[in-house]
Chain A
């Protein structure tokens, strides 16, 4: 009964928030495309010479065809899955690493905090892309490796705020109550402190996902991420750049798809921040 009321209240807040709704609808469309990409795409993304090389956008080939005569529309649709997969894996890795380190630093303090905070600061002071390039070179090319590389670089953006929040929550009376109750440090961290960080975390995730997607795309663009014939948008952009003068549709459409998705995440994040974290409300 009361739960239902709460849900309704939150839903109403969401419906009233323009940013959230637009972002939500964009991402919903992206998600649907990803789920039903086989049904939507008229051709397979590796199918060559379906209609001649470099044919411009037309009624049959909405986004035109590329240098191998593949349907660009089918490839953009197939690429949606890759992008969402990157977002999901990237967010999970970053969260697990960042939150764990942040909680441990904030909770235990002392030398543990010093050591891990030093590591966190270290990842901050090297430009992200360069560090990611180094990691990818170590791990080897490939999409999964480049996501891992990006996560290893950007977990620090979670660790810092989580650490700060943990430090202030640790001294709250309810954590002392938990201690007085015989709860272990583990339980205090994950059952008492973490749930109170979650609202800020949701916002942080939706705000940093676009960065993860863009960084992974960058790596693919540089040839270190996805390898041909993958329909990865970053890869498509980098291949299309050679023909930008003669066949701009090769790179323009994957680019638009990328902007559309990233915009969706950004708007959703901004909306969520307004709904969940009123203290940080944007003007």
Chain B
């Protein structure tokens, strides 16, 4: 097994809001290993971006209460000083964001921005610009040489995301966090960006933590996945295992909601309702109010994590065998 690079241990994050706390992430544990793509999948508001931001310690200071450990290469990032964090950001862990349209500084040319980034590692200007153009070529920017002189507003969304990736690559981080990297892009560009990310994993052995709501993307690229619901990881494991043998009712419903080549008639299935806002932590499964199999038990006790296969874990009474209908193999 490959070496673990980032591991989250019992991470809980609560946002302070008027009159209490909003539980955004609850008891999340996951390991991301060197040279793999780990995807966190879930609906809007399930806390997946919060997890990503917490790793970089980008959550706005006073409003988030964070518990648990974030171990990067054995070091707890939660107790690092802000200075130490500056050294980790970019150099050890890079991050690309959802919206490449506003993620670049509008007043500098993109070549300049990537060049400046490289100069953070004490490289002289000419060498930095040379490397920047090389990076643009690496991310398959058309006309890399000329595009380096462009300002962000002169580029298309896809090109800007390439710039973002080039910028993050410039310092060769060991972990790249991609927060919905293709959400703002169309499907053809999405495929190209995904190709770049996969290449990155293979050529540089970078670990990638991908945050997405797109199951198609996950199937395409990820090695392992974690499905999140309302701040909790409900199911996690090897990507093929999860796709072939989903255990949690939520995962199953999500799979049913995917368009498939084999099923041509009728409308796509949907899951009624939306992710609840968890204001106070009561016992009980957070999916219970939308779950077709929910029982009294699900509302009164919180299901623990059950190990299903070698890597496959699930948080549901159906799987643990405590549910009344679990015998019927639901």
Contact = CB atoms under 8 A, between A and B. Distances in A.
26 contacts: A172-B102, A173-B97, A173-B99, A173-B103, A174-B102, A174-B103, A174-B104, A174-B105, A177-B95, A177-B105, A177-B164, A177-B167, A178-B105, A179-B56, A180-B90, A180-B94, A181-B89, A181-B167, A182-B87, A183-B86, A183-B120, A184-B86, A192-B105, A195-B105, A196-B105, A196-B107
B139 to A, nearest CB: 16
A250 to B, nearest CB: 50
B292 interface: no
Chain B contact residues, majority secondary structure: loop
B58 A182 contact: no
Interface string A176-194: 1111111110000001100
Given A173-B99, A176-B97, A181 B105 contact: no
Contacts of A192: 105
Nearest to A175: B105
A102 to B, nearest CB: 18
Interface size band for B: 20 to 34
A178 to B, nearest CB: 7
Interface in B82-112: 86-91, 94-95, 97, 99, 101-108
A10 to B, nearest CB: 14
A279 interface: no
A183 B85 CA distance: 10
Interface of B: 56, 58, 62, 86-91, 94-95, 97, 99, 101-108, 116-117, 120, 149, 164, 167-168, 171
Contacts of A173: 97, 99, 101-103
B78 to A, nearest CB: 17
A195 B107 contact: yes
Contacts of B90: 180-183
Given A182-B89, A191-B116, 16 more contacts: A110-B62, A173-B103, A174-B102, A176-B58, A176-B103, A179-B56, A180-B90, A180-B95, A180-B97, A181-B90, A181-B94, A181-B168, A181-B171, A182-B91, A184-B86, A195-B105
Q: How large is the interface on A (under 10, 10 to 19, 20 to 34, 35 or more residues)?
A: 10 to 19
Given A173-B97, A173-B99, A180 B104 contact: no
Contacts, number: 63
A179 B106 contact: no
Contact of B149 (A2, A180, A196, A198): A2
B106 A174 contact: yes
Contacts of B149: 2
A182 B62 CA distance: 20
Contacts of B95: 177, 180
Contacts of B58: 176, 179-180
A63 B49 CA distance: 74
A177 B161 CA distance: 12
Interface centre among A174, A177, A184, A191 (most CB of B within 10 A): A177
Contacts of B56: 179-180
Given A183-B86, A195-B107, A177 B91 contact: no
B104 to A, nearest CB: 5
Most chain B CB inside 10 Å of its own CB: which residue of A173, A176, A182, A183: A182
A182 B120 contact: yes
B159 to A, nearest CB: 16
Nearest to A3: B149
Nearest to B89: A182
A192 B104 CA distance: 10
A191 B112 CA distance: 12
A243 to B, nearest CB: 54
Contacts of B120: 181-183
Given A180-B89, A182-B89, A196 B106 contact: yes
Given A176-B58, A176-B97, A181 B103 contact: no
